[in-house]
């Protein structure tokens, strides 16, 4: 048994077997094989070669007759190489002699062959080394289960499977929901990346930024994942299994205890009433928001509807989905317009073609939408049309320029006129709000507040842009600090601007769902929170234990200090 550490996501505990999802071009795992498992490893190599042969034969059958001759000749040559017993003999000897895994042995053999070819002073023969490399890659792909990607797996329940990957995109993570896996671990990634946010909302414990996960973990390893502590126990002994099974039961009973708060008011000890809303990403999550008695949906991330598909959802499809969400909710739903770009690419769609040098600072979110009206207008039309099915609010992500709002309002007028002339019913008074996620918007929040019906603070991006730390880069994750004085001040400026303009200010970044910050935010005057539904009751509990009058002076001191020791002391006093 040994332990590995990364950034934990989600409070849960999962116990299951490792399943490595390998992508072509990734680092090949290297590990030792126990003497009694050597024969099995040699057989695994032979099976890998067999599978590569079968895969190539299938390809051969599928090629169209036209022009097949040359292609067939190449495939036949590759098949001959694969079927040559020499190909498995040397790597098998390496496995036996060095006690290492099949992939590493095969790679050693491949490196040796490549060197031999390169040393031949004949351009035709040395060009053949490319064929050998292709053959070896094909076998590596079979050994590493590259074909066994999640999409290739039937849908179903795999809660005893712990997926290990170098990295997962938000689109991959959505794919995981269909398979209801137990947990996932990635080499890369930060805890406020969209991948991590999705894991939280799916209630899957995860560990991100665990460098070496691919290297140290093997298919079939028994793992315990502690999402809260960011710890992985590899091949745990019986005592650890017993301890963690107990902990898992405790977490489940804590969730049940919390249910007692479902119908309690979100009100502080001194009678301050707070609105607690849910963040949702997938339409079906509306049920979780309703189940947790949320005051409404403070953030519906619509971009996930655009992922894992070949074509964009059209107006009709969006209308159906938004209508469905609104019908399920008796309370307001804040539909955020598309926030594609940066780490949220659609995979296979047209937006992925436009990756710029720094996507987070590029044509993302409202910038992308205003640039591409064929993307934006169908969404706006769908939202207005769906508004007849429930209380709808429209929210714009990543605003940074007042001009963007002016353009938006022209567009909204146009959309409303079109819908009217086409005979559609809609609510013409949908509140229009904007997200404060860029420091420029926070510093000039008063100017934005004058034009909008509400503001919502997106701390995930606000922290990323203010502290200049990429939210998906775990190497700078240590700098992620919601209590940095600049962040607290920007939040305060935004809350005060909302008050002065008499419009509500909400917070929908991850900071809003972390009980450690609930009192600080209440002390700064925040009265509207939106978070993953699973965090709602914990935050409600904290609100009910808070006296805002008592904490306000300490929060004011917090805004004036840069000394992190003093910050720590003040936070512990505020939270005690
Ligand atoms: C945020 O940036 O805080 C936010 C809520 O938006 P997202 O996480 O989707 O970028
Ligand atoms: Mg954001």
Residues 494-524: tens digit of each pLDDT: 999 999 999 999 999 999 999 999 999 999 9
195 Cβ inside 6 Å of ligand 1: no
Residue 93: is its pLDDT beyond 70?
yes
Which atom of ligand 1 lies closest to the CA of 458?
3
Give the range among 278-282, 344-348, 471-475 with minimum mean pLDDT. 344-348
Give the range among 50-54, 107-111, 256-260, 328-332 with minimum mean pLDDT. 256-260
Spell out the residues 6+ positions from residue 547 whose beta carbon is closer than 8 angstroms to its own.
Answer: 268, 269, 270
Closest ligand to 399 CA? 2
Average pLDDT over residues 363-375: 92
Do 538 and 258 meet the contact criterion of CB atoms below 8 Å apart?
yes
If one compares 435 and 114, the residue with the highest pLDDT of the two is: 435
Among 382, 464, 371, 381, which residue's Cα sits nearest to residue 417? Answer: 381
Choosing from 339, 360, 436 the residue with most ligand 1 atoms within 8 A of its CB, the one to mutate for a pocket test is 339
Q: Which residue's CA is the closest to the ligand 1 atom numbered 3?
A: 458
The alpha carbon of 302 and the centre of ligand 2 are apart by a number of angstroms equal to: 12
Which atom of ligand 1 lies closest to the CA of 460?
3
Among 529, 496, 498, which residue's Cα sits nearest to residue 514? Answer: 529
The alpha carbon of 529 and the centre of ligand 1 are apart by a number of angstroms equal to: 13
Q: Which residue's CA is the closest to the ligand 1 atom numbered 4?
A: 458
The pLDDT of residue 352: 45
Q: What is the tens place of the pLDDT at every residue in 429-477?
A: 999 999 999 999 999 999 999 999 999 999 999 999 999 998 888 888 8
Average pLDDT over residues 114-140: 80
Q: What's the residue count for the chain?
A: 576
The alpha carbon of 418 and the centre of ligand 1 are apart by a number of angstroms equal to: 31
**DSSP classification of residue 341:** B
The alpha carbon of 446 and the centre of ligand 2 are apart by a number of angstroms equal to: 20
The pLDDT of residue 67: 59
Query: How far apart, in whole angstroms, are the C-alpha atoms of residue 376 and residue 425?
Result: 20
190 Cβ inside 6 Å of ligand 1: no
Do 535 and 461 meet the contact criterion of CB atoms below 8 Å apart?
no
The pLDDT of residue 349: 41
If one compares 259 and 227, the residue with the highest pLDDT of the two is: 227
% residues pLDDT > 90 (the chain): 60
508 Cβ inside 6 Å of ligand 1: yes
Average pLDDT across the chain, whole number: 89
If one compares 378 and 70, the residue with the highest pLDDT of the two is: 378
If one compares 121 and 270, the residue with the highest pLDDT of the two is: 270
Give the range among 30-34, 66-70, 113-117, 126-130 with minimum mean pLDDT. 66-70
Per-residue pLDDT band for 348 (boundaries 50, 70, 90) equals very low
Query: How far apart, in whole angstroms, are the C-alpha atoms of residue 506 and residue 512?
Result: 9
CATH 3.20.20.60 residue ranges of the chain are 260-574
513 Cβ inside 6 Å of ligand 1: no
The alpha carbon of 438 and the centre of ligand 1 are apart by a number of angstroms equal to: 11
Among 161, 223, 180, which residue's Cα sits nearest to residue 6? Answer: 223
Average pLDDT over residues 555-560: 93
Q: What is the tens place of the pLDDT at every residue in 379-420?
A: 999 999 999 999 999 999 999 999 999 999 999 999 999 999
Domain 260-574 CATH (choose: 3.40.30.10, 3.30.2130.10, 3.20.20.60, 3.40.1410.10): 3.20.20.60
The pLDDT of residue 538: 94
Average pLDDT over residues 67-95: 85
DSSP percent split of the chain into helix, strand, coil, nearest 5: 55, 15, 30
Choosing from 192, 335, 435 the residue with most ligand 1 atoms within 8 A of its CB, the one to mutate for a pocket test is 435
Burial label for 411, CB within 10 Å (0-12, 13-18, 19+), is middle
The pLDDT of residue 17: 92
Residue 547 token pair: 């006296």
Q: Which of 78, 194, 369, 389 is catalytic?
A: 194
Q: What is the tens place of the pLDDT at every residue in 146-158?
A: 545 554 455 555 6
Average pLDDT over residues 241-246: 94
The alpha carbon of 365 and the centre of ligand 1 are apart by a number of angstroms equal to: 11
The pLDDT of residue 156: 56
Specify whether 369 is catalytic: no
Give the range among 96-105, 249-258, 372-381, 506-515 with minimum mean pLDDT. 249-258
The alpha carbon of 190 and the centre of ligand 1 are apart by a number of angstroms equal to: 14
Choosing from 9, 439, 470, 509 the residue with most ligand 1 atoms within 8 A of its CB, the one to mutate for a pocket test is 509
% residues pLDDT > 70 (the chain): 93
Which atom of ligand 1 lies closest to the CA of 509?
3
Q: Which residue's CA is the closest to the ligand 1 atom numbered 6?
A: 458
The pLDDT of residue 73: 78
Q: What is the tens place of the pLDDT at every residue in 210-235?
A: 988 887 888 889 999 999 899 999 99
458 Cβ inside 6 Å of ligand 1: yes
Integer CA distances (angstroms), 203 to 181, 195, 199, in order: 10, 12, 6
Q: Which residue's CA is the closest to the ligand 1 atom numbered 8?
A: 460
Which atom of ligand 1 lies closest to the CA of 192?
8
The verdict on domain 2-238 having CATH code 1.10.1240.10 is: no
CATH 1.10.274.10 residue ranges of the chain are 2-238
Average pLDDT over residues 54-71: 75
Beta-bridged to residue 138, according to DSSP, are none
């Amino acid at each position: 048994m040994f332990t590995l550490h990364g950034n934990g996501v989600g409070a849960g505990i999962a116990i299951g077997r490792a399943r490595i999802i390998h992508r072509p071009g990734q680092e090949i795992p290297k590990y030792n094989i126990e003497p009694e498992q050597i024969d099995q490893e040699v057989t695994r190599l032979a099976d890998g070669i067999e599978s590569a042969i079968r895969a190539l034969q299938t390809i051969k059958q599928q090629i169209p007759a036209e022009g097949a001759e040359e292609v067939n000749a190449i495939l036949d040559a590759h098949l001959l190489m694969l079927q040559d017993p020499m190909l498995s003999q040397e790597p098998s000897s390496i496995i036996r002699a060095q006690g290492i895994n099949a992939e590493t042995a095969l790679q050693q053999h491949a490196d040796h062959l490549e060197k031999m070819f390169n040393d031949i002073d004949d351009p035709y023969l040395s060009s053949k080394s490319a064929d050998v490399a292709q053959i070896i890659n094909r076998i590596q792909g079979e050994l590493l289960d590259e074909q066994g990607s999640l999409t290739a797996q039937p849908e179903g329940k795999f809660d005893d499977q712990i997926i290990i990957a170098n990295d997962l995109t938000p689109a991959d993570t959505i794919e995981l929901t269909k398979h209801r896996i137990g947990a996932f671990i990635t080499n890369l990634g930060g805890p406020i990346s969209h991948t991590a946010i999705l894991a939280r909302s799916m209630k899957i414990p995860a560990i991100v930024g665990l460098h070496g996960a691919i290297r140290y973990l093997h298919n079939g390893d028994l793992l315990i994942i502690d999402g809260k502590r960011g710890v992985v126990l590899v091949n745990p002994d019986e005592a650890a299994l017993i301890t963690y099974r107990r902990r898992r039961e405790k977490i489940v009973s804590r969730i049940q205890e919390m249910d007692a708060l479902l119908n309690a008011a979100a009100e502080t000890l001194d009678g301050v009433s707070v609105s607690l809303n849910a963040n949702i990403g997938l339409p079906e999550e509306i049920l979780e928001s309703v189940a947790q008695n949320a005051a409404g949906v403070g953030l519906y991330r619509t971009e996930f509807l655009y992922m894992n598909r070949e074509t964009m959802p059209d107006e009709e499809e969006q209308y159906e989905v938004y209508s469905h969400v609104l019908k399920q909710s008796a309370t307001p739903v804040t539909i955020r317009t598309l926030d594609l770009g940066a780490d949220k690419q659609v995979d296979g769609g047209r937006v992925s073609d436009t990756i710029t040098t720094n996507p987070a600072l590029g044509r993302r979110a409202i910038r992308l939408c205003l640039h591409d009206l064929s993307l934006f207008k169908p969404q706006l039309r769908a939202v207005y049309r769906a508004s007849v099915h429930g209380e709808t609010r429209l929210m714009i992500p990543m605003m940074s320029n007042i001009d963007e709002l002016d353009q938006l309002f022209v567009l909204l007028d146009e959309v409303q006129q079109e819908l009217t002339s086409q005979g559609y019913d809609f609510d013409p008074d949908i509140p229009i709000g904007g997200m404060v996620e860029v420091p420029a918007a926070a510093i000039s929040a008063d100017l934005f507040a004058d034009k909008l019906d509400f503001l919502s603070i997106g701390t995930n991006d606000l922290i990323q842009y203010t502290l200049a730390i990429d939210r998906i880069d775990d190497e700078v994750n240590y700098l992620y600090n919601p209590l940095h004085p600049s962040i607290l001040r920007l939040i305060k400026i935004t809350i005060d601007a909302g008050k002065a303009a008499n419009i509500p200010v909400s917070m929908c970044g991850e900071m809003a769902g972390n009980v450690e910050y609930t009192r600080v935010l209440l002390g700064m005057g925040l009265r509207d929170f939106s978070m993953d539904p699973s965090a709602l009751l914990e935050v409600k509990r904290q609100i009910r234990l808070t006296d805002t009058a008592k904490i306000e002076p300490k929060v004011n001191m917090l805004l004036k200090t840069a000394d992190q020791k003093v910050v720590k002391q003040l936070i512990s006093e505020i939270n005690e």
